[in-house]
Structure 1
């Protein structure tokens, strides 16, 4: 496999995961009662759509097909788990927040795995992926902060 083919493959992996996170956050917005969290999750979903568009543009620039062919199995499982967990907790904002944090942690792990591979041979691509990872990490840190503040509101948790 050539470097360019590998780059396209790795970019597709991240595109599938980011696209799935768009759907995950749309679902999260539907499963919370708090208007604040609905707005937050919808905003994150829009941001992820923007990140996905940047990945599509980069894939096209390498001559690849920028369409998402199939959702990533792990991301789909995460979304399914979030639906099950939410159904069990009856729209528990904290459970939805936890699920979103876990999904973003998995996405960050995927970014890290890819950044440790052959992409090191292309500084421009590595910088692009690191920039996208930073955007996801900023959201993760915000969710992490919000999640632990929920514990302060209800110390019995």
Structure 2
């Protein structure tokens, strides 16, 4: 186990969670009738706490944690902005995108928790953050199912 491996894994997760924050903020603005805006803002706030926890662990290990999302996340948000501008921004479409992003984030955290190359200390921090990720994922999944059931 290497401190550099831990820092690298933490930075990967930080990028992804920052993408999640920005996605929730975009979704709060894009949802057509605003009925999910409060949920999206709450999730963005909760994810900021996750980023702070991951950044603190990186600093404790001697890292200089990022405060930027990924290029892929930025490109995805621009695509969503374009789709919304072209009339594809229904509540259902926004919820589907949020749920898709939550699937990805949850998988990233699960991969990190199963990485045998990171220390138990870092794994414990990641696991504590995973609770928030799982709650957000499950809520987004349930919202998506509500839309599917309404069809």
Please give the TM-score of this superposition, normalised by the length of structure 2: 0.89
Q: Give deviations 1:11-64, integer Å, cap 9, x for gaps.
A: 001001111111110000000133330000000000111111111111111111
Bigger mean CA offset, 46-55 vs 124-133: 124-133
Cross-structure match for 2:27: 28
Find the aligned partners of 2:22 and 2:11 in 1 and give their Cα distance. 17
Find the aligned partners of 1:151 and 1:7 in 2 and give their Cα distance. 40
**Superposed CA RMSD:** 1.7
Corresponding position: 1:150 with 2:151: no
2:78 to 77, 80, 84: 80
Query: How far did residue 132 of structure 1 move?
Result: 1.1
Find the aligned partners of 1:57 and 1:81 in 2 and give their Cα distance. 32
Query: How far did residue 90 of structure 1 move?
Result: 4.4
Cross-structure match for 2:124: 127
Find the aligned partners of 2:42 and 2:78 in 1 and give their Cα distance. 21
Please give the TM-score of this superposition, normalised by the length of structure 1: 0.86
Query: How far did residue 75 of structure 1 move?
Result: 2.4
Find the aligned partners of 1:140 and 1:152 in 2 and give their Cα distance. 18
Q: Which runs of 4+ in 1 moved over 6 A?
A: none
Structure with more relative contact order (C-alpha pairs < 8 Å, separation 6 or more): 2
